[in-house]
Amino acid sequence: MRIVVLISGSGSNLQALLDACAKGEIQAAIVGVISNKPNVKGLARATQAGVATQVLQHQDYASREAFDQKLQQAIDAYEADLVVLAGFMRILTPAFVDHYAGRLINIHPSLLPKFTGLHTHQRAIDEGATEHGASVHFVTSELDGGPVIIQGKVPVLPEDTAESLAQRVLVQEHIIYPRAVQWFVTGALQLTDGRCYLNGAKLPVQGVQV
Ligand code: GAR
């Protein structure tokens, strides 16, 4: 299988996926990495791993639709079987999401359906949550609303700041994302009628819990 990863920044999740591919824990190839921001660390990580990179800056396009069309062309040129959003900080148009239905996944830094959108770690602290984490989910037109595949949990500690909590959540992200991708690659994971199935069994709405 051929995987394209979309990033906007540091790319630590991309690194976890590259490492898992190198170790054979994901039996697929990351064939391209596309960033909407130039000069980010994730691009250097891809280059270091010998993966082709591309920068498409959204401000160069007249509309969200025009950018997403260009992005779709770039992804399809890699003949991607799976598109992985790894810290890609853009809202995608319905046409783009529909084009990749069932083969577009995202990682979001909260225990969905809690805390969709931004500033998830601070919001978890402000709300007095005792646990927090990250979710891997199929992408649908609803922002951070698609069917959840897997969640990794961490406790929220009394002394936590948004930064310390983010660091602890990232450790979980780097565990759950490669796992979800390998399930997809082997065909163990399926999206049918808006629900996730793993090895033929319907997953709970929160996905697999780690
Ligand atoms: C990760 O925490 C990811 O969950 C989050 O951005 C970070 C990217 O880190 N994604 C979102 O907030 C998407 N809405 P990384 O670039 O080091 O992988």
Residue numbers of the domain that contains 32: 2-209
Opening angle at CA 117, ends 161 and 105, nearest 5: 110
Residue from 6, 7, 12 to probe ligand 1 pocket by mutation (most atoms less than 8 Å from CB): 12
For residue 188, what pLDDT is reported?
A: 98
The number of folded domains in the chain is 1
- For 187, the token pair is 């065909």
For residue 82, what pLDDT is reported?
A: 98
State the Cα–Cα distance between residues 68 and 96, nearest whole angstrom.
6
State the Cα–Cα distance between residues 179 and 186, nearest whole angstrom.
11
Q: Does 10 sit in the ligand 1 pocket, CB within 6 Å? A: yes
- 8-state DSSP, 48: H
For residue 143, what pLDDT is reported?
A: 85
Type and span of the H or E element at 177: helix 162-186
- The pair phi, psi for residue 76, each rounded to 5°, is -70, -25
Q: The domain spanning residue 25 has which CATH number?
A: 3.40.50.170
Q: Does 190 sit in the ligand 1 pocket, CB within 6 Å? A: no
- Answer for the pair 95, 190: CB distance below 8 angstroms, yes or no: no
Instruction: List the chain pLDDT tens, one digit each, 210 residues.
Output: 999 999 999 999 999 999 999 999 999 999 999 999 999 999 999 999 999 999 999 999 999 999 999 999 999 999 999 999 999 999 999 999 999 999 999 999 999 999 999 999 999 999 999 999 999 999 998 889 999 999 999 999 999 999 999 999 999 999 999 999 999 999 999 999 999 999 999 999 999 999
What's the gap in Å between 206 CA and the centre of ligand 1?
19
- For 197, the token pair is 């199935």
